[in-house]
Amino acid sequence: MIEVKDLVRQFKSGDRTIKPVNGVSFELEKGSLASIVGKSGSGKSTLLSLLGALDKPTSGDVVVDGVSLAGLPDGKLTEYRRRDIGFVFQQFNLIPNLSAVDNVMLPMEFAGVRKAARLKRAKELLEQVQLDPEKQSRRTNRLSGGEQQRVAIARALANEPKLILADEPTGNLDEQTGEHIIELLSSLSRDHNTTILVVTHDRSLARKTERCFRLQQGRLTEEVRTGSRR
Ligand SMILES: Nc1ncnc2c1ncn2[C@@H]1O[C@H](COP(=O)(O)OP(=O)(O)OP(=O)(O)O)[C@@H](O)[C@H]1O
């Protein structure tokens, strides 16, 4: 479970102070899929960076399974980022001249998993994200955008993170491929009991997630839903 408590991040901009995140609080249940929408510059990436410990808040805290990030020294924050967070980006950020399977194995290598176990898990994950088996050994720069995003999602799952943060994961994909990726994230959040938070400009995609938040002027509000996804 992720608890975000009165989070504030301010930046100096000339002689002005801006607060793209200004008192944000919410909780995410384990295994849920949620989205955040908001205009360009509204602070969505800033908020994701705070949740992923890529940045530190001006005040407030993020508590992950009872562990307060505000109380962790830098070394432990790096460990948290590597072990507990999976990142998925708009640009996929794969290593282009490595195969799909090698890209997925990489974070497990950093985590000290033995080679045979890495290979087995990478293949299982690529199967779960429905990448054609004959494409597993293909270099990722020879895969389509949708296929590359599937590989990036498999890589994000490699070390069984507590939270996956996805920043515009469908931004480079056509509408139908984007929908498939959101459906995939939805089934993976359930199957792996992993919490997934997606930032998107696309309101029709956001409607497909279980919960949807809007970030506006530093504040987060939740859209009320009728009916449930599950
Ligand atoms: N390191 C920084 N220093 C100063 N200002 C910053 C910094 N990072 C972000 N900002 C400012 O904070 C605000 C929020 O930026 P952020 O990138 O979080 O928005 P966003 O909602 O993710 O935008 P987009 O949808 O365009 O990616 C913007 O005004 C941005 O210029």
Q: Which domains occur in the chain, in start order?
A: 2-222 (3.40.50.300)
Rounded CA separation 171/176 (Å): 12
- Nearest by Cα to 200 from 52, 63, 33, 50: 33
Mean pLDDT of 205-215: 93
What's the whole-model pTM score? Answer: 0.91
Mean per-residue pLDDT, 76-87: 93
Using pLDDT thresholds of 50, 70 and 90, give the confidence band for residue 227.
low
Average pLDDT over every residue of 132-143: 96
Q: CA-to-CA distance for 162 and 229, rounded, in angstroms?
A: 21
Cα of 157 vs centre of ligand 1, distance in Å, is 27
ipTM: 0.96
Distance CA 219, CA 36 (A): 12
Q: 113: CA distance to ligand 1 center in Å?
A: 36
Tokens of 164: 């996956």
Ligand 1 binding pocket, CB closer than 6 Å? 11, 13, 18, 20, 38, 40-46
Buried b or exposed e, range 194-203, using 16+ CB within 10 angstroms:
bbbbbbbebe
